[in-house]
A and B are shown apart, each in its own frame.
Chain A
Amino acid sequence: MQDDKEKSLQQLLDLNKPLEHIPTSADQEDFTAYKILYSALRQEPEGGLSFSFKSKLLQQIKLEKARANDTKLYVIAGIVIFIGLIFLAFLAFSYSFVFMTYVDTIVKIAVFIGSALISLTAFHFFEEKYLKLER
């Protein structure tokens, strides 16, 4: 019963009806308290974001964008290298007699490219981890 009265008062204030709609059974004290409460609930909480928030955020967004571009570049480079290796493997099978004479040099180059790729990937991975921790 009491809850029904409370509900009708709250609905009245939610609909923002003029004062003549107050139910006669309603307690004037309740109505006044609700009116004060409703106006307080529309007030913004104290404080706000710092002045440097937006500039820091946009800087962070630029970094994220650059990182996304780097990742794209790594993916493309990876695909190109993979295709290149398949092509080399195909050549090696087709002209194995020629490749046998240069096998030492080819292995050295392959090891160099492989290490460079692994180092780059590891650097990128740890950089991401570090930036996440920094945030």
Chain B
Amino acid sequence: MINEKEIIPRIIKGDIRAFSLLVDEYQKLIFHVAKRMIQNDADVEDVCQDVFIKIYKNIGSFAFKSKLSTWIAQITYSTSIDYLKKNRKHYIEFVSDEIIDYKTDDHSPADLLEQKDLSRYLTEIISELPTPYRLVITLFHLEEFSIQEIVDVTGMPDGTIKNYLFRARKLMKEKVKLYLKNDHARR
């Protein structure tokens, strides 16, 4: 764990070693957020590089009003969205129930039976969720951000975030239940 108050002034002065410590500390967070939003590994690496360069250039504007991780996640989120928009990739800012029903109900029980590994299956159903759901799920469960921190990162109202969390988890739970039933029938 790095001492932010000690390391940030060093980075502002141009200390590359201090910046290297920051890279070690936050590369996982940046990778997780970018990976869940963009998914393609090669593009994710480019976006992560852009994020770190933005951090280096703008660290002087970090005013310690939030956690450094929140500020970094915010930069990662906006850079990933810019990337998706620039490359005309599919990005839905607000998700309606109809889209979800269409997007996640395309596995037949036969497909499910072919999925031998539950964790791989779960990874797949997470990747099929709409981008905002994946982002909210990642920040809340994997990075253990609070709802307020997710509000700060995304700028979405807290009601929307709670709703996305609830709906995404409910949808995935139904998939897991179906998987477990099929798995039980197989045995």
Beta-carbon contacts of B133-174 to A below 8 Å, as 1s and 0s? 000010001100000000000000000000001100110111
Q: B32 contacts which of A6, A44, A56 (Cβ < 8 Å)? A: A44
Beta-carbon contacts of A1-38 to B below 8 Å, as 1s and 0s? 00100110010000000000000000001101110111
Interface residues of chain A: helix, strand, loop or mixed (majority): helix
Nearest-CB residue, chain B, relative to A43: B119
Q: What is the total number of residues of chain B having a CB less than 8 Å from a CB of chain A?
A: 39
A49: B residues at CB distance < 8 A: 27, 31, 45, 48
Complex contact B141–A54 (CB within 8 A): no
> With an 8 A cutoff between CB atoms, is B56 at the interface?
yes
> Which residues of B are at the interface with A, using a C-beta cutoff of 8 A?
14, 16, 19-20, 23-24, 27-28, 31-32, 35-36, 41, 45-46, 48-49, 52-53, 56-57, 118-119, 122-123, 126, 137, 141-142, 165-166, 169-170, 172-174, 176-177, 180
Q: A57 contacts which of B49, B57, B174 (Cβ < 8 Å)? A: B49
Q: B123 contacts which of A36, A46, A54, A57 (Cβ < 8 Å)? A: A46
> With an 8 A cutoff between CB atoms, is A77 at the interface?
no
State A43–B35 Cα separation when bound (angstroms): 13
> Once A and B bind, how many residue pairs between them come within 8 Å at the CB atom?
95
A48: B residues at CB distance < 8 A: 28, 31
> Which residues of A are at the interface with B, using a C-beta cutoff of 8 A?
3, 6-7, 10, 29-30, 32-34, 36-38, 40-50, 53-54, 56-58, 60-62, 64-65, 135
State A62–B176 Cα separation when bound (angstroms): 48
Complex contact A37–B172 (CB within 8 A): yes
Q: A41 contacts which of B19, B48, B141 (Cβ < 8 Å)? A: B141
B24: A residues at CB distance < 8 A: 54
Complex contact B20–A58 (CB within 8 A): yes
Complex contact A33–B180 (CB within 8 A): yes
Complex contact A33–B177 (CB within 8 A): yes
